[in-house]
Amino acid sequence: MLPIRRAISDDIDQLVRLRLLLFEEAGEAVQQTQEEALREATRVYLTKSLPQETFLAWVAESDRQIVATSGLVVFERPPAPGNLSGEEAYVLNMYTLPQWRGQGLATALLQEILRFTKQTSIRRLWLHATESGRPIYEKAGFMTTSDEMELAW
């Protein structure tokens, strides 16, 4: 198993590259004219949010190359029953390069997220799963819900 560690600012370029690969593989085509704008916007976001710890990432690395990554956006909502702190986190950016899949890296990254959040006042984790990722999340205890709606423009 490859070592897992928290991402640092020096990892931003690799994190951006893997995020764009994730979009491509998920079928969220980025028009060539928008790719550079998305790359730069993501770089700016990570440069700001990693040090502030509003976005956290864990990575698996081989020969100084990140081969798998995970992300966590931490935010606060008003307190609610079952979550008096109001702190929640959204799991995203779970991505493993194709040649590294099937080795337990996504599971190890998710376990790091769970270990981290259990040491905080975060009481709710949520995510959107791909079909291939769903078994990993279900094995970790995530349950499918259907009470979400979305509006985008």
pLDDT on residue 146: 78
Is the distance from CB of 6 to CB of 113 less than 8 angstroms? no
Beta bridge partner(s), residue 60: 4, 68
Give the separation between CA 74 and CA 92, rounded to whole angstroms: 11
Q: Which one-letter DSSP state was computed for residue 14?
A: H
Return the CATH superfamily for domain 4-139.
Gcn5-related N-acetyltransferase (GNAT) (3.40.630.30)
pLDDT on residue 145: 85
Tokens, residue 83: 């979550």
pLDDT on residue 27: 82
User: Residue 151: pLDDT band by 50, 70, 90 thresholds?
Assistant: confident
pLDDT on residue 121: 92
User: pLDDT (tens digit, 9 = 90+) per residue, 85-141?
Assistant: 999 999 999 999 999 999 999 999 999 999 999 999 998 999 999 888 999 999 999
**Strand pairing category for 55-62 and 124-127:** unpaired
